[in-house]
């Protein structure tokens, strides 16, 4: 009898131990995929690397094929918004050079922002983001819209819980970051990796200026180019090949700007009315223009610089002082300048399926 009792006492704990172990193993099952840190091969012309350098990324977030694939999926995933109706791609549309064709983007609660969404083009060479430069990395930039109450209005806890329930995402995070942990840090890292791939250097201007194709531009477009780099003074702030100097400037829009611009972030009076100089690449596809979307057309933009710069605007940029009473361009010159700006559109960038919603 004692032997039977001893056997029972031995078997029962063993059974319990095996059951607990089995349950724990079920809880920590890892995806049947392997980590793939294969570097992403950026497709940029040699002249780009010569003029502005190779694409670099933070040491703790190298750009990999798996990371870009994950970031692309996240960029277009509407589960990042509180009501699952908006993604990054909702306000950054590829056909509009990853800009928003609306004057102001609308959030999930119906509210509108007060600044025009910015295009996502060649940001791998940039070091400050948003109109006021309040973030210094693409990773940090990707963080803000998700929790902004007038944009996606979500919480990172909610997003993390949603994505953790998706077996496909578990696989993708394992492949990209060698972990099944899904958190805001890795989500923004992946989105930043995808955004670094959004490079645009294949416009008619590039074919003419860097590629040596004399037929790539018309005579009016060439005249507009000469104006751009000459008497129209556009190149002073929109220098090639990025067509921006990534600086913050007051371009004389208002006598007393309603939006304090960069000063809202820095708190410095000297930054009052200053905004990020945007790239002119694909500018024909990113209307409306300026931080407040006041100009609907490129013709209106050109007219502003030709005759509308307000010299008394506080902190007016030194380059705008050169405009004096205005450039007073002729009607032909204005037409030619607009024609040239249109040659900065990169059709492959606007239609490349590698950048599109993977659905």
pLDDT one-digit tens code per residue, 187-225: 999 999 999 999 999 999 999 999 999 999 999 999 999
Tokens representing residue 202 in the block = 């294949």
pLDDT value at residue 19:
44
Q: pLDDT, tens digit, for every residue of 43-78?
A: 899 999 999 999 989 999 999 999 999 999 999 999
The rounded distance, in Å, linking the Cα atoms of 342 and 205 is 9
Q: Kindly state the DSSP code that residue 304 receives in the 8-state scheme.
A: I
Per-residue pLDDT for 176 more than 80? yes
The rounded distance, in Å, linking the Cα atoms of 98 and 198 is 9
Distance, C-alpha 223 to centroid of its chain: 32
Tokens representing residue 110 in the block = 């119906």
User: Would you say 110 and 86 are in contact if contact means Cβ atoms under 8 Å apart?
Assistant: no
Q: What are phi and psi of 212, to 5 degrees?
A: 75, 20
pLDDT value at residue 1:
47
- pLDDT band for 16, please (50, 70, 90 cuts): very low
Question: Tell me: domain 204-343, CATH 3.20.190.10, correct?
Answer: no
pLDDT value at residue 52:
95
pLDDT value at residue 187:
98
Per-residue pLDDT for 15 more than 50? no
Q: What residue ranges do the domains of the chain occupy?
A: 46-200, 204-343
The rounded distance, in Å, linking the Cα atoms of 166 and 163 is 5
Residue carrying the six token digits 């350098």: 53
pLDDT value at residue 14:
43
For CA atoms 156, 162, 164, 167, the dihedral sign is: negative
Q: What are phi and psi of 39, to 5 degrees?
A: -60, 145
Helix runs in the chain, H state only: 2-27, 46-52, 65-75, 88-91, 138-147, 156-164, 167-177, 184-196, 204-209, 219-228, 263-266, 298-303, 318-321, 331-342, 347-351
pLDDT value at residue 96:
98
Q: pLDDT, tens digit, for every residue of 98-146?
A: 999 999 999 999 999 999 999 999 999 999 999 999 999 999 999 989 9
DSSP, collapsed to helix, strand or coil, labels residue 289 as strand
User: Could you check whether 46-200 and 204-343 share the same CATH topology?
Assistant: yes
What's the mean pLDDT when you consider all of the chain? Answer: 91
Closest by Cα among 336, 334, 338 to 326:
334
pLDDT value at residue 23:
38
The rounded distance, in Å, linking the Cα atoms of 300 and 293 is 11
Maximum distance among all alpha carbons in the chain? 112
* Top-level class of domain 46-200: mainly alpha
Kindly report the length of the chain. 359
pLDDT value at residue 326:
75
- pLDDT band for 31, please (50, 70, 90 cuts): low
Per-residue pLDDT for 321 more than 90? no
């Amino acid at each position: 009898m004692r032997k039977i009792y001893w056997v029972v006492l031995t078997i029962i704990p063993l059974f319990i131990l095996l059951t607990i172990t089995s349950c724990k193993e079920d809880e920590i099952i890892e995806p049947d995929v392997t980590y793939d840190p294969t570097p992403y091969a950026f497709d940029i012309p040699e002249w780009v690397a010569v003029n502005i350098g190779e694409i670099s990324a933070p040491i703790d977030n190298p750009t990999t094929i798996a990371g870009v694939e994950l970031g692309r999926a996240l960029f277009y995933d509407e589960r990042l918004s509180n009501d699952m109706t908006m993604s990054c791609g909702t306000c950054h549309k590829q056909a509009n050079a990853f800009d928003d064709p609306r004057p102001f983007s609308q959030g999930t609660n119906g509210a509108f922002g007060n600044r025009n969404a910015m295009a996502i083009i060649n940001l791998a060479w940039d070091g400050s983001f948003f109109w006021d430069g309040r973030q210094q990395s693409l990773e940090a930039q990707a963080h803000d819209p998700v929790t902004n109450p007038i944009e996606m209005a979500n919480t990172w806890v909610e997003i993390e819980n949603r994505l953790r329930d998706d077996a496909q995402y578990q696989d993708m995070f394992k492949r990209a970051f060698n972990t099944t942990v899904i958190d805001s840090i890795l989500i923004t890292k992946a989105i930043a990796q995808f955004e670094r791939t959004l490079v645009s250097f294949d416009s008619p201007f590039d074919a003419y200026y860097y590629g040596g194709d004399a037929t790539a531009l018309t005579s009016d477009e060439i005249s507009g180019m000469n104006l751009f780099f000459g008497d129209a003074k556009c190149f002073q702030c929109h220098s090639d090949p990025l067509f921006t100097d990534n600086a913050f400037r007051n371009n004389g829009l208002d006598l007393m700007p309603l939006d304090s611009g960069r000063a809202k972030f820095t708190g410095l009076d000297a930054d009052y009315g200053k905004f990020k100089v945007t790239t002119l690449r694909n500018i024909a596809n990113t209307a409306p223009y300026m931080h407040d979307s006041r100009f609907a057309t490129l013709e209106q933009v050109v007219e502003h610089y030709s005759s509308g710069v307000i010299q008394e605007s506080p902190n007016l940029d030194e380059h705008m002082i050169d405009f004096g009473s205005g450039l007073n361009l002729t009607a032909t010159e204005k037409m030619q300048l607009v024609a040239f700006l249109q040659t900065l559109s990169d059709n492959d960038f606007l239609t490349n399926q590698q950048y599109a919603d993977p659905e």
